[in-house]
Amino acid sequence: MSTTETKSDVERAQRTPADLRLHYYGAQNVPLLLSIGILVAMIMLYLILFVLAQRRLPGSFELSTTLNNTMSVGLAAVGQTLVVLTGGIDLSVGGIVDVTNSVAAQTMHDNPGSMLGITLLVLAIGAGAGLINGLLVTYGRLQPIIVTIATLAIWQGVALLVLPQQGGAIPPGFTNLLAGNIGIVPSSLVIFILLILLWQVLRRTRFLVTLYAIGNDERAARANGVPVNLAKIGAYTVGGLFSGAAGLYLAAVATSGDATSGTPLTLTSIAAVVLGGVSLFGGRGSAVGSLVGACILTLLLNVLFFAGINPQLQEFFQGLFLILAVVASTLVRRFLQSER
């Protein structure tokens, strides 16, 4: 280093210029930006169809129902993201949602103590179920897909024991808290924003950096001396906790329990993660993307409804859309890469 360099020169050079930072941020977050693009397109389509059908703009009721319907998928997708970032996959999401949903509906009473207690219990059940997955994957050295297929079946069975028939009841107060309005703002919107903020905080923890490192290359992560096993177990545990939250939310919105209502969430949470631009190979993506993916999936249902599609063909079109969306974003990414 030459001695004529002043201290402020050095300091200035240390800081990457803002436009370059933006360039790198953009280049490294192409999948996220693409999924936001798809979301925007979906919103436009939804608005057009809604206005054509209803002759008015959607209001806060539509916003709140849409978000309420998104939230359980969104919560499950955030949990799924943590596991997928390590290069794993959690198929037990649906089972955990079933159990926590059933427990909440069966045991919650209409007083604040019970609501708080059962909420904590349900989250603990979710985390515990995730912990078991994590221990089996990490120390049992089993494939995540096998472990979680097995625990999926187990939790589905347990859920039926807890709540053999649809029923139970969620106190209206609890439903209002999670799925109602705070003033004029839907609670689900608040939760949605809190989740995004939570992710910004989480991303700045060593735990999350370690998860990304594992997903990039587990062997190299180990050689870098980061606590691989602990972080992996953490990913499944926190993932399970989010599944528990999804089960609780599902019960709150439905105001009652159903031991099978969570099962579709296994696949929709994975679809949301993929739509959100998280790599199934691990190491790339963000839970914000997965939340966006969850919104896209809910909006798709609304769009199909307003487009007057036969409900029996709903799943057919969902599948079609998923393929088109993934193909489109792959093509765009390839185009951007060839432009580099």
Draw the binding track, 101-140, toward other proteins (x: CB under 8 A; -: no contact): ----------------------------------------
CA distances in angstroms from 283 to 89, 115, 214, 333, listed in the order given: 13, 37, 7, 17
The one among 9, 21, 111, 323 contacting other proteins by CB under 8 A: 21
Q: Which one, 26 or 319, has the nearer CB to other proteins?
A: 26
Residue 252 CB, nearest approach to other proteins (Å) = 31
E-assigned strand segments in the chain: 181-182, 185-186
**Which residues are CB-neighbours of 156 under 8 A, at least 6 positions away?**
94, 95, 98, 259, 260, 263
Core vs surface per residue 35-61: b (16+ CB within 10 A) or e: bbebbeebeebbeebbeeeeeeeeeee
N residues, the chain: 340
Q: How far is the CB of 16 from other proteins (least distance, A)?
A: 6
Phi, psi dihedral angles at 14 (to 5 degrees)? -65, -25
Retrieve residue 322's tokens. Answer: 């998923």
- 24 lies in the site for other proteins, by CB under 8 A: yes
Piece in contact with other proteins (CB under 8 A), picked from 13-21, 29-37, 115-123, 309-317: 13-21
Residue type, 195: L
**C-beta of 3: minimal distance to other proteins in Å?**
14
Give the distance from CA 161 to its chain's centroid. Answer: 27
Instruction: Report if residue 232 touches other proteins, rule: CB under 8 A.
Output: no
What's the closest the beta carbon of residue 199 comes to other proteins, in angstroms?
13
CB 299 within 8 A of CB 42: yes
> Could you say whether residue 225 binds other proteins (CB under 8 A)?
yes
| Site for other proteins, residues 250 to 289, rule: CB under 8 A | 279, 283-284
Q: By the criterion CB under 8 A, which residues form the site for other proteins?
A: 1, 10, 13-16, 20-21, 24, 27-28, 201, 204-206, 209, 212-213, 216-217, 219-226, 279, 283-284, 338
